[in-house]
Amino acid sequence: MKGFPKVKVKRSRVHGQGLFAAEDIAEGTPIIEYTGERVTRAEARRRYASRPDAAVQLLAIDARTSIDGAVGGSDARFANHACSPNAQLLVYKKRVFLVAIEPIAKGEEITYDYALEITGDVDAITAMVETVCSCGSPECRGTMLRI
């Protein structure tokens, strides 16, 4: 099996650090595995309550399990949100991969749609304020929430 394409982490115009293609990546190519500490959804909610910025690194993979990319995670955790992304997450046998959904040129930022969901005691207005999108896409919906 061929290895993953080369990627690098660097400053992003979208937010903080981002994940970038270090070589051209063809559509359909698995880019990187999203790894980190596997925790229960209850533990993920507890971590989110204590670290609200962790929402984008806590990735639910099924009804019971989340991955906390902030704890021993791969560089996939640096992939930023975009409303018109060039990649998507694919869960395969409880492993999560970032896969190109269109050709990605060397130097281009790799993004996916976070499609965050409101859970717990968070009201819709608070959620909208805390998840403002800055992707810059002409199709930007203004939030990282699934709407």
CATH architecture label of 7-113: Beta Complex (2.170)
Three-state secondary structure string covering 121-146: CCCHHHHHHHCECCCCCCCCCCECEC
Q: In this predicted model, what pLDDT tens digit does every residue of 45-99 receive, in sequence order?
A: 888 878 766 655 888 888 899 999 989 999 999 999 999 999 999 999 989 999 9
Q: Is 128 helix (H, G, I), strand (E, B) or coil?
A: helix
- Bridging pattern class, strands 109-112 and 80-81: parallel
Query: So where are the chain's domains?
Result: 7-113
pTM for the whole structure = 0.84
